[in-house]
């Protein structure tokens, strides 16, 4: 919460704010409080002030402002595997083999 990036995001102005994250930082009350500050919701109380109040407000914040994109109405996306043979030009093959060499990977498989 004390980084230049955090301060830059916090100082953005707008009537609405939203964020997209694969996994929001919700490990502990400090992370949830930082998230609330980022969205200018205010500071949540510290757990050492009143742990029950802090946990309750953190949960209320998450319930109101965070959502999980899962639904029983949406069917899961089917996964289909496609194997595509790629034939490099001699020049592309040299570049590919050099990249493998630089990474310490043996590319002698043909």
State the residue range of the domain holding 8. 4-65
Full-model pTM: 0.53
Total tally of structural domains belonging to the chain: 1
Residue 76 lies in a domain: no
Residue 108 lies in a domain: no
Residue 55 lies in a domain: yes
User: What does the DSSP assignment read for the chain?
Assistant: --SHHHHHHHT---S------SS---SSHHHHHHHHHHTT--PPPPTTT-HHHHHHHHHHHHHHH------TTSPPPP-----------HHHHHHHHHHHHHHT------
pLDDT tens profile 71-101: 667 677 788 999 999 899 999 999 999 999 9
């Amino acid at each position: 919460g004390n980084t230049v990036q955090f301060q830059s995001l916090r100082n953005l102005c707008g009537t609405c704010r939203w964020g997209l994250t694969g996994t929001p930082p919700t490990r502990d009350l400090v992370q949830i409080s930082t998230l609330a500050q980022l969205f200018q919701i205010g500071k949540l109380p510290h757990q050492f002030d009143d742990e029950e109040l802090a946990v309750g407000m953190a949960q209320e914040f998450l319930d109101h402002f965070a959502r999980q994109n899962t639904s029983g109405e949406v069917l899961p996306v089917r996964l289909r595997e496609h194997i595509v043979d790629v034939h490099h030009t001699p020049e592309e093959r040299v570049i590919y083999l050099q990249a493998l060499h630089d990474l310490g990977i043996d590319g002698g498989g043909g």
